[in-house]
A and B are shown apart, each in its own frame.
Chain A
Amino acid sequence: MKPIKTAIAALCALAATGTFADEKGTSTTPEEDLKTYQDYFFKRFPGVPLQEFANGIYAVNKISRQNWEAIEEFPPYEPMVDEGEAMWNTPFANGKTYGSCFNNDPAQRKNYPYWDDQRKMVVTLPLTINECRTKNGEKPLKYARGPITRLLAYMAYESRGQKIDVKIPNKDALAAYEKGKSIYWTRRGQLNFNCGSCHMQSAGQHIRTNVLSPALGQASGWPVYRSKWGEMGTFHRRFKGCMKQMRAKPYKPQSEEFRDLEYFLTHMSNGIEFNGPSARE
């Protein structure tokens, strides 16, 4: 427990400094963060291999895992993958398809999120889908739920097995990463939690009867069919739900804040294979 506590204390101390990039040069690099975070979870859950963390609480909780394995025999997201494939193949009013924006290859998951140095922003897959639509004269889709989750489910399914490999190519990208990290570690809301309060410090523990998922691997399985929702949702929908549960004012799906958070959080899972879509409680 001691090293874990020390690591947490170090993380919290980092969090307290805000941006971590202070003038004294004591900030940690993304590479150092990656090692710190992944080592923390390896120590907390001995024997759980890196790839297993892609399965959320089912990697660390035997009882939940049994239910989940039963659910995965007839995955609730399967019809949505088919619907997404139909969307992929259906031309827009102008005759073009989504394929025209994605090199005619739906297996794009490994390319997102990425730092767009021209636009100086983190670009995510859902954002690119909507940019593809508006470029072709179609209305953008809503980001949290609905049709976009179908297309994402199909693209994720086609991308299964691709490795997460988020790159932080330059100083501006690093600033976005740091911003995401700072959002992650900022206490907020009436309950005064940061993301790590639950998903680092309490990962694998129970809040009432719910098991709290480890932060490591959280980026891999989207979109998710969540039994609690009774439908599919996006990564940013879950971010929003988390913030509401902290009794904080949530950011909007695909806001700069959530894109930076996704950038930071996905980088943390570098080396894990994408395995979306997935099913969760």
Chain B
Amino acid sequence: MRNTARHATIALSLAALFGAASLMPRIAPAEGTNMAAKGREIAWNRKKGNCLACHIMANGVSPGDIGPQLMAMKARFPDRKKLFDQIYDATKRNPSTRMPPFGKHKILSNADIEAVIDYLYTL
């Protein structure tokens, strides 16, 4: 329930941002916003984020089990900057991490990471 409310809020604020609320296609709440949908695509793509290689994510097919399950991300990372940093270069926080430094090694662009965070915040 809370999820739906949050999606609606994000969708509304986005719509307001683009000033074209009535023209935008209706997005099913489960799909999240456009950015979140784009982020999900990046996250699931084997050549891009490939987060599923290591993390279980809702509805993601054939996930690995090396990293923690990605859920309740807003509660776990209320600070968006911290989540960005973790994806950008996880070795900063934990030098022996196995997580690739997605930003630092240019696996993902900053814009890609932002989209992925939008998606992660729907989990």
Contact = CB atoms under 8 A, between A and B. Distances in A.
B53 A207 contact: yes
Contacts of B64: 205-209
Interface residues on B, range: 10 to 19
Contacts of A198: 98
A9 interface: yes
A12 interface: yes
Interface residues of A, number: 17
Contacts of B107: 190-191
B19 interface: no
Interface string A190-214: 1111000110011001111100000
A168 interface: no
A38 B29 CA distance: 51
A205 B66 CA distance: 6
A8 interface: yes
B106 interface: yes
A209 B91 CA distance: 25
A207 B66 contact: yes
Contacts of B52: 208
Nearest to A12: B96
B105 A202 contact: no
Interface in A163-202: 190-193, 197-198, 201-202
A197 B62 contact: no
A16 B91 CA distance: 13
Nearest to B63: A208
Contacts of A209: 62, 64
A190 B64 CA distance: 20
B101 to A, nearest CB: 6
A190 B105 contact: yes
B93 to A, nearest CB: 14
A190 B100 contact: yes
Given A192-B101, A207-B53, A202 B66 contact: yes
Interface in B63-86: 63-66
Given A190-B106, A192-B105, A207-B64, 9 more contacts: A9-B96, A12-B96, A190-B100, A192-B100, A193-B98, A193-B100, A201-B96, A206-B65, A208-B52
10 contacts: A8-B96, A190-B106, A191-B100, A193-B98, A198-B98, A202-B98, A205-B66, A206-B64, A208-B53, A208-B62
